[in-house]
A and B are shown apart, each in its own frame.
Chain A
């Protein structure tokens, strides 16, 4: 499905953050009180904040004067493989979590570029992408 409007891009960002936040929260519960569990819980908290930020950007930075069609973004390209947490073996948990962070990172890079005519929004998208990069990096070595 194409993401051709300002609202569609930011709604998708909010959806991505909410969905990934839910995943990280459940994964954190499964990992328990371990370094990995705490790392995943931090990611979940960031995603909840990210969802709020995306919705706020959609509401506050919409500019009637500059609502130009957006091209080249499709949601399918940024949706991680939808596997339920319960279906994942323990050793698959971290790669799946990293994959979500990496997908989101790619989405924020592409959407930030697509919305560069709106610098405040592009900044929000960049900052969400940066947060997801830190998640991906933290999940490279969650025991440290």
Chain B
């Protein structure tokens, strides 16, 4: 059976890409091809930018509340097609149905938050800044924005940006990851029914060539990116060269610090979810487990035992508690880290390399893997693995744990498990990562709070969603008036 070839969505129509090559989209649970995605080029980007630029003048003149009404309709359409989107996502990305539904829920929450534009986009003013002179600050849309999305959250991440960009009066181009392009294709099909004006939203499939074309295109005012740190740096620098606004969210190496007074019975399930949820493929996943002092005695055994109970399988089965990795290549990369951990002398408590899932031998599965006695200098404690591999680094006290957190270079998220308010305050006050969890394993800001890290985890100064995103997508014009 021949596989469907995905198309771009430009100027309100589905059009064939100008690409000269295609890539297979594979189901990570089976390894089977499920679609083919065009690896687009500069022509595709030019066409999308032209459509977005043409749509901008009329769209920016559309009252904000009218723009928000499209989002209300979109929200209803997403609720109607919720399960369909969630299952498409599982099929191409591999995560479990619960994880997928949770992701689609977060996608919708961003639409809901963006509908608050009439409050969130407002400016401010002051009379008589000099005698008879008034001043106002009026946020205005900027033009065409683009987003380049990662493979780990194909539904949610594009919607950290898209609804805010368009509700502020900008037009938008999305490039989904070429590994998981089907979810947003489905989402754009649903959007097509909502009847946004042509050219307001556009979808271009592709990989490196499309990214380069976007970076260099003078018609794009700003780019939002989520992915690895090396690519985030390239995006940041590229946008700097062409004078674009940019928010480039990179990788992570998150620590979960567990104090001796932590309530383990209550906290352990969320630690397991943090390290192994989405098979460790999220920028908020725990990567380093840091028991402080005698916490290790209680924690390490219980944690390992709980990890053993995870049930690997096809994400579409509701009995599955951990899905596969996204691709064979990524699994090999993660296996490489396990080999490095062993070579560097870490103690392997649980080895996920030999896991087998009956009936799904072609899937990209890797079981939970736990290393103990890891030192801060080892590769597995320094580099982003992005898989279900835990490095246990024991710390003598909270100071040592905080020093470990702050010396990773990445500064995305950090979590503390404790029964002490004083320890919690000390931790959140001193750690450099921008997203902090207290007795929470996934410190994931919701739509109405900003998402983004510090250090090597983010380049740019305006984070995703929250209140700040309305500033990213607007230019504040200051008007000083004097009438005679």
The residues of A with any CB-CB pair to B shorter than 8 Å are 1-2, 4-8, 11, 58-60, 62-69
Contacts and interface: CB of A to CB of B under 8 A. Distances in A.
B96 interface: yes
Interface in B287-339: 306, 309-311, 318-321
A55 to B, nearest CB: 9
Contact of A5 (B96, B105, B270, B306): B96
Given A2-B319, A7-B318, A59-B79, A69 B102 contact: no
A69 B269 contact: yes
Contacts of A63: 102, 105
A6 B318 CA distance: 9
Given A1-B319, A69-B273, 11 more contacts: A4-B319, A4-B321, A6-B98, A59-B82, A59-B83, A62-B98, A67-B99, A67-B277, A68-B270, A69-B272, A69-B321
B105 A68 contact: no
Contact of B105 (A4, A11, A62): A62
B444 interface: yes
A115 to B, nearest CB: 12
A68 B97 contact: no
A11 to B, nearest CB: 6
Contacts of B440: 65
Given A65-B442, A67-B99, A67-B102, A5 B273 contact: no
B321 A5 contact: yes
Interface string B348-364: 00000000000000000
B97 to A, nearest CB: 5
5 contacts: A7-B318, A59-B79, A67-B102, A69-B273, A69-B310
B98 A60 contact: no
A1 B101 CA distance: 22
Contact of B444 (A5, A8, A60, A64): A64
A67 B98 contact: yes
A113 to B, nearest CB: 14
B106 interface: yes
A8 B319 contact: yes
Given A59-B79, A59-B82, A69-B273, A64 B318 contact: no
A7 B272 contact: no
Contacts of B318: 5, 7-8, 11
The 7 closest A-B pairs by CB, nearest first: A64-B102, A68-B269, A8-B318, A7-B98, A62-B101, A62-B102, A5-B98
Contacts of B105: 59-60, 62-64
A68 B311 contact: no
B311 A64 contact: no
A7 B90 CA distance: 14
Contact of A59 (B96, B99, B101, B311): B101
Contacts of B442: 64-65
Contacts of A68: 269-270, 272-273
Contacts of B98: 5-7, 62, 67
A2 B106 CA distance: 27
Nearest to A60: B105
Given A4-B319, A59-B79, A69-B310, A64 B103 contact: yes
Interface in B55-104: 79, 82-83, 96-99, 101-103
Interface in B211-259: none
Contacts of A58: 101
A36 to B, nearest CB: 36
Contacts of A6: 98
A11 B272 CA distance: 23
A27 to B, nearest CB: 29
Interface in B93-137: 96-99, 101-103, 105-106
Contacts of A66: 270, 273
A66 B101 CA distance: 12
A100 B83 CA distance: 28
A6 B272 CA distance: 15
A105 B306 CA distance: 29
Contacts of A8: 318-319
Contacts of B277: 67
B79 to A, nearest CB: 7
Contacts of A64: 99, 102-103, 105-106, 442, 444
A69 B274 CA distance: 11
A42 to B, nearest CB: 29
Contacts of A60: 105
A116 B269 CA distance: 13
A6 B101 CA distance: 10
Contact of B101 (A2, A7, A65): A7
A58 B103 CA distance: 13
A64 B320 CA distance: 16
Nearest to B106: A64
A7 B319 CA distance: 9
A58 B101 CA distance: 8
B278 to A, nearest CB: 9
B160 to A, nearest CB: 13
A71 B79 CA distance: 29
A113 B99 CA distance: 21
A25 B309 CA distance: 40
A60 B96 CA distance: 17
B32 to A, nearest CB: 24
Interface in B269-288: 269-270, 272-273, 277
Contacts of A65: 102, 440, 442, 444
A69 B97 contact: no
Contacts of B319: 1-2, 4-5, 8
